[in-house]
């Protein structure tokens, strides 16, 4: 698998089994920043052991061809993640994209560059036709990333995901890659 690269001070690489400590640290440092946009997390999620369990599942998805998990890095630290999940082959050729970046790096184009790189990878390496994303209506930063990277708003999904402890509506986006 050829790895995508970012044209900036932030690197992008595939998640590895060696990442639990660094990933747990990144999530702990961004716990408050991410809380409004993610499912409620118990304390175990923020530990190396909790991340090791998640990483095992992500790497199983990578081996099965259903997921591609990356981490964003800067100065040997993990500063975010970006993942293609639910990869479907056949006539659909689709995946879902999710991402976050360290609060200290927001507004610097890091997510937009990473999403753009992953979309190129999805098209050229995975030969996907479409990538979809869902976002809370109030997440203006994430919506801006999707707009900058060519996604199109296609609808609203009522009570779509349980985020921050309650079922919340989401805006649905897609990017046709062909």
DSSP 101-169: E-GGGTTTTHHHHHHHHHHHHHHHTS--SEEEEEE-TT-HHHHHHHHHTT-EEEEEEEEEEEETTEEEE
Number of H helices, E strands in the chain: 5, 7
Domain assignment present for 140: no
Q: By mean pLDDT, which of 2-11, 32-41, 63-72, 105-114 is the weakest?
A: 2-11
Number of domains in the chain: 1
Q: Helix, strand, or coil here: 65?
A: coil
> Is residue 4 over pLDDT 80?
no
Evaluate whether residue 102 is within a structural domain.
Answer: yes
Q: What is the CATH number of the domain that holds 70?
A: 3.40.630.30
Instruction: Please tell me the pTM assigned to this model.
Output: 0.93
Q: Residue 71's beta-bridge partner residues? A: 13, 81
pLDDT of residue 132: 98
């Amino acid at each position: 698998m050829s790895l995508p690269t970012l044209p900036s001070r932030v690197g992008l690489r595939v998640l590895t089994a060696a990442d639990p400590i660094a990933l747990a640290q990144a999530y702990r440092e961004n716990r408050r920043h991410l809380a409004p946009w993610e499912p409620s997390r118990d304390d175990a999620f923020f530990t190396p052991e909790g991340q090791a369990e998640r990483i095992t599942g992500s790497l199983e998805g990578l081996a099965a061809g259903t997921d591609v998990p990356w981490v964003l890095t800067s100065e040997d630290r993990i500063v975010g993640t970006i993942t293609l999940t639910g990869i479907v082959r056949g006539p659909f050729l689709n995946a879902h994209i999710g991402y976050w970046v360290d609060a200290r790096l927001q507004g610097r184009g890091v997510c937009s560059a990473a999403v753009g790189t992953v979309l190129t990878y999805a098209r050229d390496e995975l030969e996907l036709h479409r990538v979809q994303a869902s976002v809370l209506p109030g997440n203006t930063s994430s919506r801006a990333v999707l707009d900058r990277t060519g996604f199109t708003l296609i609808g609203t999904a009522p009570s779509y995901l349980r985020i921050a402890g309650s079922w919340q509506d989401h805006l649905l986006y897609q990017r046709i890659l062909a």
